[in-house]
Copies of this chain bind each other. A is one copy, B any other.
Amino acid sequence: MPTSTFFNLNDSKRAKLLQAAEKEFARAPLPQASIANIVKLAGVSRGSFYQYFNGKEDAFYYLLKIHTDKRRAYFLKLLQEKDGDLMASMDQVFRTMLIELSEEEHLQFLKNAVLNVTHEIEDSFTELFLGKQPEVDAVNQVKDLVDFKKLNIDNKQEFFHVMQILTSVTFRNIVDQLSRNLSHEKAIENFRIEMDLLSKGLSKVKKQV
């Protein structure tokens, strides 16, 4: 997390910093991004940067958090609109992200993040759907919106794992689309196949209705 000094800054300076950081992380993925470029873009000294952030990772994850927070709000809104239909909401989130990520410029930052996922980054995407792990409230926030009647689960603990599975698969589909440059149509088809498989189950065992 950025320091209190950073949050004490006036809005325009803070915005300028973030804008500069996002631009640099859009230019190059985290390991290749340079603080020198960020401070040049933001017009502050190198020393200042270290007074605001712990290092470039700090700035990067903060930016990522801002982005995923936005998308989480969207996901929650979708769940409400779709009367708690989890699969339908995931589907919509996937489609929206495909479109967003294909819009040049703006989302290059996210592309770089997605194409250089570390487990921290994947975790942050998991938080998109589940909220921060330690706060169980966030899981509940989603759980309360989901219509369980449509899901094939016996107990509440399983719900957490359902979300884990859906997140992994959705996330990998997004990575795939970007790393293999799939067309939207192909990406959506792949995703649909996998979601169908997840819905109906991979094994041939009798299922209660």
Bound: A169/B150 CA distance, A: 22
Q: Are B118 and A117 in contact (CB under 8 A)?
A: yes
Q: Are B198 and A152 in contact (CB under 8 A)?
A: no
Contacts A/B (CB < 8 Å), 9 sampled? A115-B118, A158-B193, A162-B197, A164-B172, A165-B169, A165-B194, A199-B202, A200-B203, A204-B209
Residue of chain B at shortest CB distance from A207: B207
Which of chain B's residues have a CB closer than 8 A to the CB of A149? 204
Q: Is A96 positioned at the interface, with any CB of B under 8 Å from its CB?
A: no
Which A residues are closer than 8 A to B by beta carbons? 31, 87, 114-119, 122-123, 149-153, 157-158, 161-162, 164-166, 168-169, 172, 175, 179, 190, 193-194, 197-207, 209
Q: Taking the nearest CB of chain B, how far is it from the CB of A169, in angstroms?
A: 6
Q: Taking the nearest CB of chain B, how far is it from the CB of A31, in angstroms?
A: 5
Bound: A168/B197 CA distance, A: 14
Given A115-B119, A117-B117, A168-B172, is A201 in contact with B194 using a C-beta cutoff of 8 Å?
A: no
Q: Taking the nearest CB of chain B, how far is it from the CB of A153, in angstroms?
A: 7
Bound: A194/B152 CA distance, A: 13
Which of chain B's residues have a CB closer than 8 A to the CB of A190? 161
Q: Are A87 and B204 in contact (CB under 8 A)?
A: no
Q: Taking the nearest CB of chain B, how far is it from the CB of A160, in angstroms?
A: 9
